[in-house]
Amino acid sequence: MILSTNAIIETFVESLKIRSLFTYEVKDSKVSHEMITGFNLALLHNTILPSSAQFKKEIAQFDILSSSIFQPGEKWVNRDLIREVADDIAKIQGWEVRYDKRNVICNRSGKASTSSIDGTPRPLAAGPLI
- Report d(CA 129, CA 108) in Å as an integer: 11
Burial class (CB in 10 A: 0-12, 13-18, 19+), 91: exposed
pLDDT at res. 111: 53
Q: Give the pTM.
A: 0.71
- Report d(CA 75, CA 33) in Å as an integer: 8
- Side-chain half-sphere of 117: how many Cα atoms within 13 Å? 2
Instruction: For 75-119, write each residue's pLDDT tens digit.
Output: 999 889 999 999 999 999 988 888 776 654 444 444 555 556 666
Instruction: For 12-63, write each residue's pLDDT tens digit.
Output: 999 999 999 988 888 889 999 899 999 999 999 999 999 999 999 999 999 9
pLDDT at res. 106: 47
pLDDT at res. 124: 54
Q: Are 90 and 34 in contact (CB under 8 A)?
A: no
The whole-chain average pLDDT of the chain stands at 83
